Structure formats: C-alpha cells, structure tokens
Amino acid sequence: MNEKKTQEIHYIYVVDPLIRSFLGHYFNYANSIFHAAVKAGLDFKLWANADCDPGISEELPTRFIFGKDEAPTLLGIRPPKMAGLHRPLKRLREWIKACRELDRPDGMVFVDNCVAIELLLFAIAVFLEKKVLSPVFIVMMRIYYYNPSTNRWKKETIILKLALYLLSKALKSKRIILVSDSALLASRFGRLTAMPIHTVPIPHTGIGSNESKVTSATRLRFAYLGHGDYYKGITFLAEAIHELNAAGHLDRMEFFIQCYQPRTHDARIDKALNGLRQLSSKGVEVVEEPLDVSNYNLQMMRADVLLFPYLIDRGESTSGPFAEALALSKPVIVSAQTWASQQLEKFDGGGVICQSGSSTSLAQAMMEASNNYAKLAQKAEKARPNWAAFHNADNFINTLISVTVAENDGSIQNRKTECEGPGREGRP
C-alpha cells in the first residue's frame, strides 16, 4: 500500500443499517473489511442497530447509532395510524446525531446497504449538518429499483433520485464519493446522477480452502445457497430437478438446497420446496433454516457446482455466494444476461450459462456440468487467481483509499466544491 496515501487516512467506519445477525453476507462483508483495515493499520468501527445480535459486538468493534424500532405509545396504547410515521423521523434524528459525531477529517465512513428511504434520510442529514470537519463519506450504490425485463424504473426511484440530488448538493461542503461493486450497476445508477460512480472490489471472498475437497466418483454435488427469493430462480431449479429425475439422471447427482424465508412465505417457493422433499431418497436435501457462518462455509466448500439460476429481474445485482464460489475455484451455473454471467465470461471461469426462467435449459446446463466437470473445474482453477487478485478485502481497502485521495486532488484534506462530471446519457 502507498505509504504517502495512508498517512492521511487513519480510520474506516462501516455504517450498515441491515446488519442484524450473523446470517447472510452482511456480517461477512463487515468482518472482511475489519481484518483488512487492521492489517492496513486503520482504526475500524462498525456502526449498526442496537437490536443486532450481541455476538457481533464481541467480534467487531461496534457503535450502536440506530435504536430499536419501537413505535411510540400513548397511555400504553400504540395508535395504529402512528405506527409507521415515527420511523423516518426517528431515523433522521439518528443520522443527524451520527453525522455530528463524525468530526475527524482523517478517515473514511463507508455507508453500505441503504434502501432508497434510508439513503434519503442519510442525504438529508449530511446536507443539513454544517460541521466544518467531516470524513470522506463513501456511499455504496447496490440496492436499486430497475426492472431489466420491463426496462422500467420502479416508483422508489423517485426517492433514490432525491437522495442523490441532495448528496450532490452537499458536495459544496462535504466530501462524498459514490461507489458500486458492479460496473453494470455503476452504469445503471449513472443514469440518475452526474456524480461519478467508482467500481470497487467485493471483500468477502476468503472463506476457506478448497484443496481438501474430494469429488465423489459417482455423484456430482450441486448446491443452492441463500434466502427465499423467487427472483433467484428457486422454483425453476425445483422444476429442473424434477425433469432430471423423470429422465433418470439423479443417480449421478446430489443436491443441497438451502432456501430460508425470513419473513412472509412465498406460496410458490413453499410449493417448490415441498416438491423437492419428495426426492429426499434420491439425494436431494432441503434446508429451510438459515445457516450460520461455519455451516454455510462448509456447504460452499463441499459443493462441486454452485447454482445461480437468477431471473433477469434480479440478475443485475451482485451475488456474494457467486463471488465466493469463484474465489474457491468452483464451477458455477448462471443465468444469461445477469451480472454473474458477465463476470463468468469476463474472467473466463468454469461454468455453464443457461436461459433465465427456463427449467429445461437449467436441467440441460446441469447435465452439461455433469458430463464436463473435470474440464470446468480445471477452467475454474485457472480463472481463480485473476478473480481473487481483484476481489479481496485488502484490495477493497486499497481501492477506497486510492479513490478517496484521487477525488480530493491528492490529499484527503482538500474538499470538493462542485459536482464533477457532465452526466450520463439515458436518464429516466
């Protein structure tokens, strides 16, 4: 790392409103940044919700800036009409308080995983807070509201555009940088703002070693990991497995399907999982509970092929399990016209691309993976070094520092006074 750059940057704080537990990739993401920050000699702190798992604060230096989401009561009664009105005002006060505490200019505050309304509240707080001293705010642009299949933006985009407008106005007195972990998303967000959007690596790719993995001589192990999202293609995967069973091919395959639904259940997903349970005697294991970090890593390493049959509506978003799969030199199956298929082709990784939303195409892709596994595994191993050289936590920290220094004319002490960039074409 460039010593001249780091001498002016002494800390990185990660603000993530969505970290609540060890499940999913929120904790893994922050944990990867923490270890890389310590390695780079930077102070680290996670700013999170007061109702997140207490164990997180034992693993990471944590500051609770967001209080528990409790509706106000009147004489012990919670008025129904007020139940949802207090949340934005309460959260705005918390954001303003957080911004006022950030009076050290020699560091970076990485704002991650903000839905549109959350980003707007943050933007209002940054815009209103007039304190002279402030860090460099690095805002991750990952959650967006565009539907590729219909080529239309969703109504939440109005809130998102307002947030981006306020952030651009705040540049007169604040240092704000937009980043994305996908060039595709950076281009998509670029239609909403004239602020430049930089592409950064994905940090949580070092989950273990694949060297001890021994593939079964008779059955190839496929794995699908994640939460119950219809747009991740779980129903089409279920149909594809039934098609393989009808054709008599399950004797050469086994499946680990982990699909949990944290809130309301989708009837389509329930039906698909119930149907897969009927194939348990044929090597199909269905787990609806969330996996902790160690068990998730274990299933990732045990798998021969990872499945990502995302629908186009969901497919432009980045995928944590996909990033980890390539870092482990795992062959993958992905849907066409998605971020994952772009990355597979860009890095020439080992995998098969199927048609989005087609169970028959997915079944054919799994047969192709089964028939050509040795060649795909060799290709995946060859692609891994280039993938892991970019997508890792150390490079994530280095990239943030480089972008921060470059955006401030070589010094973190300098301020932007105007919004750079002429804007991009294709604004909605």
SS3 category, 264 = coil
* Range 126-133 average pLDDT: 81
Which residue type sits at 346?
K
Residue that has been written with the tokens 């002494």 in this structure: 10
Do 151 and 231 fall within a single domain? no
- Separation between Cα atoms, residue 186 and residue 112, nearest integer Å: 15
Which pLDDT score, from 0 to 100, does residue 196 have? 95
- Separation between Cα atoms, residue 249 and residue 180, nearest integer Å: 41
Report the percent of the chain where pLDDT is more than 90.
Answer: 68
Q: What is the pLDDT of residues 11-56, one digit of tens each?
A: 999 999 989 888 878 899 999 999 999 999 999 999 999 988 999 9
pLDDT of residue 172 exceeding 80, the answer is yes
Do 237 and 267 fall within a single domain? yes
Do 198 and 228 fall within a single domain? no
Which pLDDT score, from 0 to 100, does residue 409 have? 59
70-74, 91-95, 376-380: least confident range = 70-74
- Separation between Cα atoms, residue 125 and residue 129, nearest integer Å: 6
pLDDT of residue 421 exceeding 50, the answer is no
Whether the CB-CB separation of 94 and 65 falls below 8 Å is answered with yes
Average pLDDT, the chain: 87
* Range 298-313 average pLDDT: 94
Domain harbouring 160, CATH code: 3.40.50.2000
What is the span of the domain harbouring residue 226?
220-389
- The number of residues making up the chain comes to 428
* Range 385-398 average pLDDT: 96
For the chain, the domain total comes to 2
* Range 207-234 average pLDDT: 76
339 token code pair: 């971020």
- Identify which of 280, 230, 231 has the alpha carbon closest to the alpha carbon of residue 255: 280
Q: What is the pTM of this model?
A: 0.86
Do 304 and 344 fall within a single domain? yes
Do 234 and 364 fall within a single domain? yes
Residue bearing the bigger pLDDT, 397 or 413: 397
Quickly count: other Cβ atoms within 10 Å of residue 8's Cβ.
17
Which pLDDT score, from 0 to 100, does residue 210 have? 52
Q: What is the pLDDT of residues 256-285, one digit of tens each?
A: 999 988 777 899 999 999 999 999 999 999
pLDDT of residue 181 exceeding 50, the answer is yes
Do 155 and 238 fall within a single domain? no
pLDDT of residue 387 exceeding 80, the answer is yes
Do 14 and 160 fall within a single domain? yes
176 token code pair: 């704000």
Residue 91, domain member (yes or no): yes
Which pLDDT score, from 0 to 100, does residue 81 have? 47
